[in-house]
Amino acid sequence: MHGRTLAGIARALRAREFSSEELVSHLLARIERLDGELNSFVTVTGEAAVAAARAADRQLAGGSAPPLAGVPIAHKDIFCTAGVKTTCGSRMLDNFISPYDATVVERLRDAGVIMLGKTNMDEFAMGSSNETSYYGPVRNPWDLTRVPGGSSGGSAAAVAARLVPAATGTDTGGSIRQPAALAGITGIKPTYGRVSRYGMIAFASSLDQAGVLTQTAEDAALLLKAMSGHDPRDSTSVNAPVPDYAAGLGESLEGLKIGVVEEFMDQGLDADNAAAIEAALKVFEALGATVQRISLPNIGLSVPTYYVVAPAECSSNLSRFDGVRFGYRAKAPRDLEDLYKRSRGEGFGAEVKRRIMTGTYVLSAGYYDAYYLKAQRSRQLIAADFRRAFETVDVIVGPTSPTPAFELGAKVDDPVTMYLNDIYTIGVNLAGLPGLSAPCGFINGLPVGLQIVGRAFDEGRILNVAHRYQQETDWHARAPGGAFA
């Protein structure tokens, strides 16, 4: 049962091939047996999941079931879940029981989806390797000595190991696409504003967006449809109709104009990685698409721009953690300042503190113009490059990550080396565009991702491009062997 896609599971449940309770119990047993090594879950909500599965089975028998009734998934532990611990991978929230559900959680439940648990992540979504979590690193099921990417590393590892058919994630600079690439699965970050962020713990509010990690583009289309749409409780949520993404899958790619970013292909891309991308482009050409080189002249500014904007916003967002209203509280404070300083100093890990301090520095008196305002100007240049490119092409295709999964500990000593993992993904967040990563090959047994970027609110097109690719190739169907088979 566990190898099936989410769409396949939804069909099998409707055909009564197996019950939701059988499936949920099977997956919970797999998590119990295999997750000790992977560490992809922070919390498993087994009892509630079995009860929800029984209820879904009754709905399925009664013929009144919502579209995804009885389908199990996991939520990244950044989404608030009422009555369930919501940690954001931090000691700061180790004791936090959310009083309410995130809109994403609520909408997926309304669509019939069952939560199996909450997945591990880099602390407050700050990291590219899932090594900054208070709950320890997540391991990559393709090679347990390697990282699964981050920050949605638990979601990526759990889906790759087929512990769940799909999981939610969030992406501020690549945190869905990069782990999807390193774990050999599909992941989509929608357009800024497409999915409500109500109840999604904030990191950098001009960049954060929720999405999903799945086995296939079709599965992503089904979940994205269920979780998208306007939400008055999130002021950045866009009031625009949500297309039926799954209904648009399978459309011809005849005449599709694909842009390939020369700055990405020519500068320092590993030869094997480039070969995998070139091979994918051949598949698209055979499907009737045309490929042309394009230039994003300011894309080289995206990583330094991001590492001013994101820490600045993080330092502001994380000022809410004061040890008073919720979260970690230091013992025996001498005075109010000591309570704030020690609650934050003891509750946050090293990377979060680095980013808060970087953000505080770039926003501080005398430096604001030189760093923050300068970064907001260069962000405009990067976004304008994308706008110009989309006047001549329909999608932009290229690498997701500069390397396949690296070894645990390989990049933890130098924050800047770690930051460069997101060189291909960050520009997309700065421009607010939708981006997807789909598996497109292997290097030394490790998966490689193909990134597909679209115009704002053109999720349907990038999902269809990935879907047509997945109809022609079987990289997405490969799963780790050994204990995970």
Query: Is position 91 an interface residue for other proteins (rule: CB under 8 A)?
Result: no
Query: Does 151 participate in catalysis according to the annotation?
Result: yes
Q: Strand order in 186-189's β-sheet?
A: 41-44, 114-119, 72-76, 166-171, 209-214, 186-189, 435-443, 446-454, 395-399, 257-261, 290-294
Q: Which is nearer to other proteins, 416 or 483 (CB)?
A: 416
Q: Which is nearer to other proteins, 73 or 339 (CB)?
A: 339
Residue 164 φ then ψ, to 5°: -145, 150
Query: d(Cα 315, Cα 349) in Å, to the nearest integer?
Result: 14
Taking CB under 8 A as the criterion, the residue among 333, 402, 471, 473 binding other proteins is 333
Query: Is position 377 an interface residue for other proteins (rule: CB under 8 A)?
Result: yes
SS3 446: strand
Binding to other proteins, residues 216-245 (CB under 8 A)? 232, 235-236, 238-239
Binding to other proteins, residues 186-205 (CB under 8 A)? 191-193
Query: d(Cα 281, Cα 398) in Å, to the nearest integer?
Result: 9
Taking CB under 8 A as the criterion, the residue among 63, 64, 254, 334 binding other proteins is 334
Catalytic residue among 19, 40, 76, 237: 76
Query: Is position 357 an interface residue for other proteins (rule: CB under 8 A)?
Result: yes
**Single-letter amino acid, residue 105:** V
Number of residues that bind other proteins (CB under 8 A): 73
CB atoms within 10 A of CB 399: 25
Query: Is position 390 an interface residue for other proteins (rule: CB under 8 A)?
Result: no
Query: Is position 250 an interface residue for other proteins (rule: CB under 8 A)?
Result: no
Query: d(Cα 101, Cα 107) in Å, to the nearest integer?
Result: 10
Query: Does 76 participate in catalysis according to the annotation?
Result: yes
Residue 460 is encoded by which pair of tokens? Answer: 């349907």
Q: At closest approach, how far in Å is the CB of 370 from other proteins?
A: 8
Query: Does 175 participate in catalysis according to the annotation?
Result: yes
User: Could you tell me if 284 and 469 are in contact, meaning their C-beta atoms sit under 8 angstroms apart?
Assistant: yes
Listed in sequence order, the residues at least 6 apart from 282 whose beta carbon sits closer than 8 Å to its beta carbon are none
Q: At closest approach, how far in Å is the CB of 182 from other proteins?
A: 23
**C-alpha closest to that of 156 among 135, 179, 138:** 179
Which span (52-60, 65-73, 280-288, 367-375) binds other proteins, by CB under 8 A? 367-375
Taking CB under 8 A as the criterion, the residue among 27, 431, 436, 462 binding other proteins is 431
Q: Which is nearer to other proteins, 74 or 188 (CB)?
A: 188
Which span (162-170, 178-186, 336-344, 446-454) binds other proteins, by CB under 8 A? 336-344
- What amino acid positions are annotated as catalytic residues? 76, 151, 175
